Chains A and B, each alone.
Chain A
Amino acid sequence: QVQLVQSGAEVKKPGASVKVSCKASGYSFTGYGISWVRQAPGQGLEWMGWISVYNGNTNYALNFQGRVTMTTDTSTSTAYMELRSLRSDDTAVYYCARARTGGSWFDPWGQGTLVTVSS
C-alpha cells in the first residue's frame, strides 16, 4: 500500500537547523511530488511548500522562503525538508504528503515528525 514514513522526533535549540525525512513506498516515487505541512500545538494546518520528485522543481510558501529547502533522493525514494534558523514558534508536527502536482490535494500523509525548538 502507499505509505510515507517519516523520521523521528527532534529537539533543537533556537538558531539551529532541522532536516526531516519522508520515505515513500508502494508507488512510483517519481510520478508524484511531495508537499510539506506543519501543525503547531493545538493549531491548524500550514502548507510549507511542494517539490516535484521528477525534476526537483519547488514551490515554497512565502512564509518559509529563504529558510526552507526541500529535496528528494530517488535512489532511496526519500524526500527531505530542511528548516533553518529555528525559532520557538517553529515547534510543530511536520507532515509530508504525496501530491501529484504543486496544485493538488494531499494523499496520503506521513505520520508526522514533532520538532521542538527550545533553549
Chain B
Amino acid sequence: EIVLTQSPGTLSLSPGERATLSCRASQSLTSSYLAWYQQKPGQAPRLLIFGASGRATGIPDRFSGSGSGTDFTLTINKLEPEDFAVYYCQQYGSSSLTFGQGTKVEIK
C-alpha cells in the first residue's frame, strides 16, 4: 500500500497570503496519479486537482498543483476567507487507493 504523508499538519495564515501544502508518497506514483480535495466542516470533500496539476471544473485559478514521482505540492495563491479548510491528497495509481492524513489551513 502506498502511504501518503502530508505536511504540515496545520498551516496558520492570513487572508491574502500564499499556502504551500506538501504530499509525499512512499513510492513513485504511476503517471502522477494524484488528486487534491478540499473539505469544509460538515461538508463532503470537493475535488480541486487531478493528475497532479489538472484543475477540476469550476475551481479558481488561485489553486494549482505540481510535482511528480513522490513529491507533490498544492499551492493556494492569495488565500480567500472561503479557502480555510482541510486539504487531502489521494493517490489512484495503485489498486489500493489511499489518502494522506490531511492539512488544516486555518486563519492566523
Contacts and interface: CB of A to CB of B under 8 A. Distances in A.
Contact of A111 (B44, B88, B99): B44
Nearest to A35: B97
Contacts of A104: 92
A108 B47 contact: yes
Interface of A: 35, 37, 44-47, 50, 59, 61-62, 95, 102-112
Interface of B: 1, 33, 35, 37, 44-47, 50-51, 56, 88, 90, 92-102
Given A103-B92, A105-B90, A47 B46 contact: no
B88 A44 contact: yes
Contacts of A59: 95
Nearest to B57: A107
A50 B92 CA distance: 12
Contact of A109 (B46, B96, B98): B46
Contacts of B44: 95, 108-112
Contact of B96 (A62, A95, A108, A112): A62
Given A95-B44, A106-B47, A47 B99 contact: yes
Ordered nearest first, which 8 A-B pairs have the shortest CB separation? A105-B35, A107-B47, A109-B44, A105-B50, A45-B99, A47-B97, A103-B92, A44-B101
B50 to A, nearest CB: 4
Contacts of B45: 45, 95, 106, 109
A106 B45 CA distance: 9
